[in-house]
């Protein structure tokens, strides 16, 4: 995560992958669905979510979604071209 100060405000820029994960988190996908959609490991998704919440001094995923909604400029223009997420293709019970 990079911090840039502009006009007395701190603008927080997330990595491109963190932005992709954040877009999917705010879309309501689970970590497992995000991992499948972005073709990355579940542990990578968990690490991204954890790093974003810690870096932004948030306590949980809901607060992360709220942050994303109020700071849309930080994730504006993020291209997410995930694999189609088919719940039938995922074994969510595992």
| pLDDT, tens only, 45-62 | 999 999 999 988 899 999
Task: State the pLDDT at residue 8.
Answer: 41
Burial 8-24 (b: 16+ CB within 10 A, else e): eeeeeebeeebbbbbbb
pLDDT tier at 1, thresholds 50, 70, 90: low
Query: Is 16-78 in CATH node 1.10.10.10?
Result: yes
Whether the pTM exceeds 0.75: the reply is: no
User: Helix, strand, coil shares of the chain as percentages rounded to 5?
Assistant: 50, 10, 35
- How far is the C-alpha of 42 from the C-alpha of 74, rounded, in Å? 24
Average pLDDT over residues 57-69: 91
Tens digit of each residue's pLDDT (9 = 90 or more) over 18-35: 989 998 999 999 999 999
Is 10's pLDDT higher than 60? no
Q: Can you give the residue ranges of every domain in the chain?
A: 16-78
């Amino acid at each position: 995560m990079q911090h840039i100060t502009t006009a007395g405000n701190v603008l927080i820029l997330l990595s491109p992958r963190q932005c992709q994960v954040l877009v999917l988190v705010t879309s309501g996908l689970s970590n497992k669905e995000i991992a499948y959609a972005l073709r990355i490991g579940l542990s990578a998704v968990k690490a991204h979510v954890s790093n974003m919440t810690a870096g932004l001094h948030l306590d949980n995923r809901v607060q992360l979604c709220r942050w994303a909604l109020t700071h849309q400029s930080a994730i504006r223009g993020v291209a997410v071209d995930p694999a189609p997420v088919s719940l039938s293709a995922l074994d969510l019970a595992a």
